[in-house]
Structure 1
Amino acid sequence: MMTELSLNVLDVVQNSIRANADLIQIRVEINSELDRLIITISDNGCGMNSDQIAKVEDPFYTTRTTRSVGLGVPFFRYAALVTGGDFCIDSKPGIGTVVTAVFVLSHIDRMPLGDMTSTIHTLITLNTTIDFLYFYQVDEKSFTLDTREFREILEGVPFDIPEVSSYIKEYLKENQLEVDAGRIF
């Protein structure tokens, strides 16, 4: 079992990368009034049919040859459902996949969100040919990081160069701190 939701995000995004996605969208939406934390990961990868979706939710199924089980999606699903939330995978072959996990924010069994800044930073700097659109919202405040905009501004300078990598990490950290307004989720 993962110890924080950001690790579940990392795991699901790795599936998107293996599905040859070149645009991955990650949305984290926290709504205190509705008592909900919603994490949505969507990609334009190869997609799955209904049989493949059923297999992905099975902890004893994996397409990887390095191990015989694939626990990432089942753990993410369980983490949402145990809070009284919901979990859904919508996918179409040749179009892509959307994974949505809904958590009851105040539920005692909800794992902490964890270090989304490091998760997103790691994904961007280690997968420099993939575009990421990250949206983070707490109640009425939000911010977005779109690597396509960064690419345009940087005119081809790679994200894994130390100065650029540091800037991306600081951008994520500062914006999340402002949106969180001192709260830890």
Structure 2
Amino acid sequence: MPDIAMHLLDIVYNSIRALAKMITIRIHDSEKENMIEIIVEDDGCGMDEETIQHVMDPFFTTRTTRKVGLGVPLFKEGVLATGGTFDISSTVGKGTMIKACYIKNHWDTPPLGDLAETLATLVQANDQIDYLFTYTSDTHQFCLDTKEIKAILDGVKINEPEIILWLKDYIKEGLSQ
């Protein structure tokens, strides 16, 4: 995949397929620490140890539309190619956490990509899922909590086209500070 945002989209769609109602995405992007850390945590159905091992295999998928599942294996290999670390943990009935840490200045580290578009796409996909997105860098922090936004919208669906357009601009502005 060309950028981290595309990997993130693929990983979070796994959480959606696992029936998660709350998905937390944390990105820590640090020049000083020479790393980009990504953590995705959900409250979906979770996996047992055997399934976790299968998820790392590109020739395993629970989907019926294709016979391979490349998302997690490609993400993991991309992270490890930079000298970074990758971990996945899960508990049946409680959810899953994926933690990936790229070495920022490694030539194989992809760019972050369009995080605003990725997050807006995720929110648009299902208005029943809540997201807590936090981005931190050496100079600033941005947080997006869809529960707060839904409360402000007071019954207007968060995935209405006008709201999604506003959301993209809000995220872009928050990330650019």
TM, length-normalised to structure 2: 0.98
Deviations 1:140-185 (A, max 9, x none): 411100000011111110112222112111110101111xxxxxxx
Percentage of pairs with the same residue: 44
Deviations 1:31-88 (A, max 9, x none): 2111010011000000011111000011110001111100000000011000000100
Matched, 1:162 2:124: no
Distance in 2 of aligned mates of 1:18 and 1:52: 15
Q: What residue is the counterpart of 1:4 in the other structure?
A: 3
Q: What residue is the counterpart of 1:41 in the other structure?
A: 40
Task: Write the mapping of 1:11-160 to structure 2, written as runs, cut at 5 A.
Answer: 11-160=10-159
Distance in 2 of aligned mates of 1:162 and 1:51: 41
Distance in 2 of aligned mates of 1:156 and 1:28: 30
Distance in 2 of aligned mates of 1:52 and 1:38: 24
- Read off the aligned partner of 2:35 and give its amino acid letter: R
Structure 1 residue matching 2:171: 3-state secondary structure: helix
Deviations 1:107-162 (A, max 9, x none): 01111111111000110122111001110111141110000001111111011222
| Structure 1 stretches of 4+ moved >4 Å | none
Distance in 2 of aligned mates of 1:14 and 1:82: 23
Q: What residue is the counterpart of 1:183 in the other structure?
A: none
Distance in 2 of aligned mates of 1:55 and 1:140: 39
Alignment length (residue pairs): 177
RMSD between aligned alpha carbons? 0.8
Which segments of 5 or more consecutive residues in structure 2 lack a partner in the other structure?
none
Structure 1 residue matching 2:59: 3-state secondary structure: coil
Structure 2 residue matching 1:114: 3-state secondary structure: coil
Distance in 2 of aligned mates of 1:120 and 1:54: 28
Distance in 2 of aligned mates of 1:76 and 1:142: 25
Distance in 2 of aligned mates of 1:167 and 1:112: 24
Distance in 2 of aligned mates of 1:164 and 1:113: 24
